[in-house]
Chains A and B, each alone.
Chain A
Amino acid sequence: MSSGRDSGGGGGGNGGNGEGRRRVVVTGAAGRLGRLVVRRLHRDSRFMVTGLDRRPFVGRPKDIEHHEVDLRSKKARDIFRHGRVDALVHMGVMHRPRATSAEHYSWNIGGTDRLLEYCLQYRVPKVVVLSSANVYGPRPENAQFLTEEAPLLAAQAFPEMRDLVEIDHMASSFFWKARDVETVILRPVHILGGVHNAPSNYLRLPVIPTLLGFDPMVQVIHELDVAEAIVCALKPGGRGIFNVAGPGEVPLSVLVRELEKPTLRIPHPLAKPLWRAAWRLGMNSFPVDEFDFIRYVCMVDGSRAARELGFHPRHSLRETIRAVLDART
């Protein structure tokens, strides 16, 4: 099933046979963000990348090893068993809005559980889990900037967010359980770019629906900055939970204006029923509960990541916002 081979015999841009490089396994490698992360690590002479995903890696550089496997399968375990793995980057959170919650649960929770088990069993010294700042949940009583100690309340209002919150919890209990593994949990703010996540898709709509009378401050981060944050997290010594904030914060309306898109302002009592109807008819792909993200603030304090991981976003606010227009496939 392996569609890739070890970067063999000194050829190609990756050079060498991987000696002296840290072998990093990346889950969700075939996704848009995954591919960015893989490419970023691949360019770095310190790393040797192994991709792990059920999907094929479109446009895979020849010398990147990629396995089309299910995280829960024996084949996935074999990757950890047979080769030395120096680090795991887990970003395999499936978020297909239309998939059933049972599929989500089995893939996300079951998959993460297995992965962490492999790491413990085969002594992987570094585990980086990509969570999200959304785990805190948008709430009217939120402090303007939540620190890593804030409770993860997203699942209360959004059943869809349960998996994400649970993965974050699993990773933090792994952090405490496996003290000799350096576990890093990254909680980035809304990732913008060519990625097909909810915020980028939302900003790519031809007409952007907002709620009349609401214009919360939002934080965004460029997809390449997220890849950079993952590289920072892979540095030896770093461990813990980190919010990953972008270059700044602006009202939602500024994002829309920067993209020069028309807005459709819907009175919020109407928004949910309308949206729910559209969802049933298959006219959109945003679960209705995500409306709270365009109503209340859910922003984080990223100073810990700056201080301890040395992460600083390189893209300006404007570049970050405009990144959703990048036509990439």
Chain B
Amino acid sequence: MSATVGVGDWLRTRVDRFVDTRLGADYQVRSRALTVRQNEYGYDAFGFHRDWVKYAILVSRWLYRDYFRAEVRGIENVPADGRVLLVSNHSGQLPFDGLAIATALFLEAQPPRVIRSMVERFVPTVPFASYLFSRWGQITGTPENCRRLLREGEAILVFPEGARGISKPFSQRYQLQDFGAGFMRLALETDTPIVPVAVVGAEEQAPAINLKPIARLLGTPAFPIVPYPPFVPLVPLPVKYRIYFGPPMRFQGDADDDDEALDSHVRSVAHRIQTMIHVGLRERRRVFW
């Protein structure tokens, strides 16, 4: 038993040394600049730990800089501290858009911010993902969790299109799907500014069609296939990401109103994002660079 512990520790030290060298001094500076409400063991209440971020950043920084060659506009629109909801379009079969937004906030924002996004409720049942996501600051998507984090002054990323957005077929690229009203209730209830975010590029990373009968058979939300091996969208195409952050929007109203009453607020956010998407599409010349 002690042998396995020994091997584990040895491996961890080696990996740590490798990761630290690769990430370099800039990472250290940014990591120290993060605001973390940690306890005596360095964990926050949701299981986030500063030292675990580096493993994610090593991979996500490569994806962000070298693979998707992300360009960011308007990141100064994200407040330096205090609660904020980032509301973004969602696409691309796999949530690389979320990863890119989080990486942008770590690498480009001054000071860097930890973004908490909400993972699907099945994630806690998946080995390793269950705790890795929480070490990296991700939370199970319940309104209570969001409320608590917003009250504590954190930044939360929301995709109001949810599964409808991420699994939409290629033919519907850059068409926003229906927005849920949950994020607006949270914003009203906790008086949180909303920063609209548009990700341009991700919508082309997996030109998929959705095989609905198979999805229904398997009981999954979607069954996307892409026209190149391995035919399931595991590897995104190396599209170029352009991420736009809009000026914060503030809303007033009763959080307990019917969905219809909140609808105009929700639509104004969706409209802003759609406009930013159009601007982004007009600005870009090509999909891949």
Contacts and interface: CB of A to CB of B under 8 A. Distances in A.
B127 A212 contact: yes
Contacts of B5: 262-263
**Size band of the B side of the interface?**
20 to 34
B45 A143 contact: no
Contacts of B1: 207, 262-264
Given A213-B130, A216-B130, A144 B46 contact: yes
Contacts of B122: 140
A251 interface: yes
B43 A217 contact: yes
Nearest to A263: B5
A217 B39 contact: no
Contacts of A144: 45-46, 139-140, 142, 144-145, 148
A51 B46 CA distance: 40
B43 A296 contact: no
Interface string A203-231: 00001000111111100000000000000
Contacts of A217: 43, 45-47, 134
A78 interface: no
A214 B145 contact: no
Contacts, number: 83
Nearest to B147: A143
B2 interface: yes
Contacts of A250: 39, 41, 43
Contact of A141 (B121, B128, B130, B139): B121
A142 B140 contact: yes
A122 to B, nearest CB: 41
A140 B126 CA distance: 10
Contact of A249 (B39, B125, B128, B145): B39
B142 A249 contact: no
Nearest to A248: B39
A297 B40 contact: no
**Size band of the A side of the interface?**
20 to 34
Interface string B99-142: 00000000000000000000001111111111100100001101
Contact of B140 (A143, A295, A318): A143
Given A143-B144, A144-B45, A207-B1, A213 B40 contact: no
A143 B43 CA distance: 17
A268 interface: yes
A316 interface: yes
Given A140-B124, A145-B148, A317 B39 contact: yes
Interface string B36-65: 000111010111000000000000000000
Nearest to B126: A213
Given A248-B40, A316-B40, A140 B121 contact: yes
A140 B145 contact: no
Contact of B127 (A147, A263, A268, A317): A268
A73 B2 CA distance: 52
B127 A214 contact: yes
Contact of A145 (B41, B45, B123, B127): B45
B112 to A, nearest CB: 23
A89 B95 CA distance: 52
Nearest to B125: A140
Contacts of B125: 140, 296
A264 B40 CA distance: 25
Interface in A291-306: 295-297
Nearest to A147: B144
A249 B46 CA distance: 8
A254 interface: yes
A61 to B, nearest CB: 35
A251 B121 contact: no
Contacts of A141: 121, 124, 140, 142
Given A145-B144, A264-B1, A254 B127 contact: no
Interface string A118-157: 0000000000000000000000111111010000000000
B41 A254 contact: yes
Contacts of A213: 126-131
A267 B128 CA distance: 11
A249 B40 contact: no
A195 to B, nearest CB: 23
A140 B134 CA distance: 13
Interface in A248-282: 248-251, 254, 262-264, 267-268
| Of B5, B123, B129, most A-chain CB atoms within 10 Å | B5
Contacts of A268: 127
Contacts of B123: 140
15 contacts: A140-B121, A140-B125, A140-B140, A141-B124, A143-B144, A144-B139, A144-B145, A213-B129, A213-B130, A214-B127, A249-B45, A267-B127, A296-B124, A297-B124, A317-B41
Given A144-B46, A214-B127, A251-B131, 17 more contacts: A140-B122, A140-B123, A140-B125, A141-B121, A141-B124, A143-B144, A144-B142, A147-B144, A213-B129, A213-B131, A214-B130, A251-B47, A262-B1, A262-B5, A296-B124, A317-B40, A318-B40
Interface of A: 140-145, 147, 207, 211-217, 248-251, 254, 262-264, 267-268, 295-297, 316-318
Nearest first, the 6 closest Cβ-Cβ pairs linking A and B are: A213-B127, A140-B124, A143-B144, A215-B131, A262-B1, A213-B128
Interface of B: 1-2, 4-5, 39-41, 43, 45-47, 121-131, 134, 139-140, 142, 144-145, 148
